[in-house]
Amino acid sequence: MKILVVEDEPSVSSFIKKGLEEQGNDVVQAFDGITGVKLACQYEFDIIILDVVLPLMNGIEICSKLKTVHEITAPIIMLTALGTTDDIVSGLESGADDYLTKPFKFKELLARIQALLRRGNANKSNLVSTLEIEGLVMNLNTKEVFKNGIEVKLTSREFKLLEYLLRNKNRVVSRIDILESVWEIDFDMGTNVIDVYINYLRKKLGDTSKDKLIKTVIGMGYIIKDNR
């Protein structure tokens, strides 16, 4: 694989580069944000590993620019010492596919990379084009969502969460299920990232009535249920 590492700390960048090259990967390094963007656009990478705090342009700005402006499809893993719920949500909303806090073990980084590649291959093999429930229609090809005929604008992360719930409709899924299947990552379960995103979805879908489409099953998780 060809991997881009955008990290301004030489010791951390060298540690990652050495470990990945020992696994047979081709690693390219960048030590500031602007160089990282240029390299990501100039070459085709399989994975991009991106620090948040960088000179010239921070990781959040880089990730958003790569995903929305340059339409880079390579999975992006954020590396940072910032690990609060708000930090994680900011990273994911900018388009990151995973979020790993420092310090970390190389085996964990390697596992995250492999998980992202597996998920990408699984998505390519999925031929289902639409998912529906009670006036809610998700088009997996155009990445559009409609509620009672009206388009609902979702972020990439909200779309993936809703897709997972719809694929498992009428079944309770735990927070761990969601983390492993939607992000394929293992956050500190003391954070409320999943709850934050569920609330985002409910508000955008107008799902605020007593008889919610996305239901909370106390002590167990969430379920998107056909009320009929």
Is the pLDDT at 187 greater than 90, yes or no? no
Range of the domain at 22: 2-124
Q: Residue 146's CB: how many other CB atoms inside 10 A?
A: 14
**176 and 207 fall within a common domain:** yes
**131 and 120 fall within a common domain:** no
**84 and 111 fall within a common domain:** yes
Domain closes at, from 107, 124, 141: 124
Q: pLDDT higher for 17 or 116?
A: 17
**93 and 154 fall within a common domain:** no
**191 and 209 fall within a common domain:** yes
**16 and 100 fall within a common domain:** yes
- Rounded distance between C-alpha atoms, residue 135 and residue 149, angstroms: 8
Region 154-175: what's the mean pLDDT?
89
Is the pLDDT at 123 greater than 70, yes or no? no
Confidence of residue 185 (pLDDT cuts 50, 70, 90): low
Region 49-60: what's the mean pLDDT?
93
Is the pLDDT at 128 greater than 70, yes or no? no
User: Which residues, including other chains, have CB under 8 Å from residue 122's CB and lie 6 or more apart?
Assistant: none
Region 48-62: what's the mean pLDDT?
93
**103 and 149 fall within a common domain:** no
The CATH number linked to 10 is 3.40.50.2300
**82 and 159 fall within a common domain:** no
**163 and 210 fall within a common domain:** yes
Q: DSSP assignment, residue 20?
A: H
Q: Please give the tally of structural domains in the chain.
A: 2
Domain closes at, from 124, 140, 155: 124
- Rounded distance between C-alpha atoms, residue 142 and residue 130, angstroms: 10
**131 and 190 fall within a common domain:** yes
Confidence of residue 184 (pLDDT cuts 50, 70, 90): low
Region 182-187: what's the mean pLDDT?
64
Full-model pTM:
0.60
Is the pLDDT at 125 greater than 50, yes or no? no
pLDDT in tens, 193-214: 888 899 999 999 987 766 688 9
Region 56-71: what's the mean pLDDT?
90
The CATH number linked to 137 is 1.10.10.10
In the chain, what percentage of residues exceed pLDDT 90? 39
User: Which residues, including other chains, have CB under 8 Å from residue 116's CB and lie 6 or more apart?
Assistant: 47, 75, 77, 97, 98, 184
pLDDT in tens, 75-121: 999 988 876 777 778 877 888 888 888 888 899 999 888 888 776 65
Region 48-68: what's the mean pLDDT?
92
**8 and 77 fall within a common domain:** yes
**82 and 158 fall within a common domain:** no
Is the pLDDT at 130 greater than 90, yes or no? no
Is the pLDDT at 133 greater than 50, yes or no? yes
Confidence of residue 191 (pLDDT cuts 50, 70, 90): low
Domain closes at, from 124, 154, 173: 124
